[in-house]
Structure 1
Amino acid sequence: MDLFNTLTISADGMKAQGTRLRVIAENLANADSTASEPGGEPYQRKLVNFKNVLNRQIGAETVEVDRVSLDPSEFNQRYNPGHPAANEDGYVLMPNVNTLIELTDMREAQRSYEANLRVQQGSRKMLEQTINLLR
């Protein structure tokens, strides 16, 4: 495989993981965002779905974000009768964001991003050494 193809593949991986990190950050930032009126829905967790795409230019499959979808899991309920979004029983719907899961996903995305970055750095170093040999 050509070193330039390696740069393209790892750059696509970094782009996909960067999107995933942004969505995770949004989920964490809204982990306590409730509705402002009774019966309203709180923030709904977002998920990033990837897909493999054939890059015809380099003749290899790369990864890209397929879509950002909403998590269909149920909202949590918290008893807080004084909250403006509380129902008649005093319960407030809370986002379906679990901060522990988000932090774990963030760590995984960060490591994947770093692995692609190391591939980029290694490929660049090999290209530089090849150029130095040709001088």
Structure 2
Amino acid sequence: MSLFKVFDVAGSAMNAQSVRLNVTASNLANAGSVSGDPDKVYRAKQPVFATFNDALVAQTGVSGVRLTGVTESTAPLNVQYRPDHPDADADGNVYVSNVSTVEEMVNMMSASRSYQNNVEMINTTRDLLLQTLALGRQG
């Protein structure tokens, strides 16, 4: 196994965290959205990740993390009685997105820190490889 595979793994993990940050940003941007139709209101989304399986690693030589899809939350929507709202249904209810801003902020901080950790892993690996090359030139 090549020492350079560390860069593939860290790169795939950084890509995964980038997707996670983008989905979180989308959730936060739509957190207060409302609709008179529960089927049209924005629902929180979450990316789903998986590791490369052994067969794929053997075939491609690449390991790491891959995106398998983005799922919608099944948490119930918030229903508010606001008959004066222009989007209210016949009963005067509006449906508010099920995005939890607190959960999304925690998700954003976690994704950001994971991304930073992978950057540090790349930098440390690079430094170790450079030191190894320097030792090879001395000997």
Quick check: TM above 0.5?
yes
Alignment partner of 1:29 is 2:1: no
Number of residue equivalences? 132
Alignment of 1:71-110 (within 5 A): 71-110=73-112
CA RMSD of superposed structures (Å): 1.7
1:46 maps to a residue whose letter is K
TM normalised by structure 2 equals: 0.85
CA shift digits 1:54-83 (9 cap, x unpaired): 433447x41111101111111111232221
What is the CA–CA distance in structure 2 between the aligned matches of 1:123 and 1:88, rounded to whole Å? 62
In the superposition, the TM-score normalised over structure 1's length comes to 0.88
SS of the residue corresponding to residue 52 of structure 2 reads: strand
Structure 1 counterpart of 2:3: 3
Unaligned runs of 5+ in 2: none
Q: Which amino acid aligns with 1:39?
A: D
Q: Distance in 1 between matches of 2:37 and 2:115?
A: 40
Name the SS for the 1:66 alignment partner. strand
Question: Which residue matches 2:128?
Answer: 126
What's the counterpart of residue 37 of structure 2? Answer: 39
**Cα distance, 1:114 vs structure 2:** 1.1
Any stretches of 5+ residues in structure 1 without a counterpart? none
- Separation in 1, partners of 2:75, 2:123: 40
In the TM superposition, structure 1's runs of 4+ consecutive aligned residues that sit over 3 Å from their partners are none
Give the C-alpha shift of residue 90 in structure 1. 2.0
* Deviation, structure 1 residue 47: 0.9
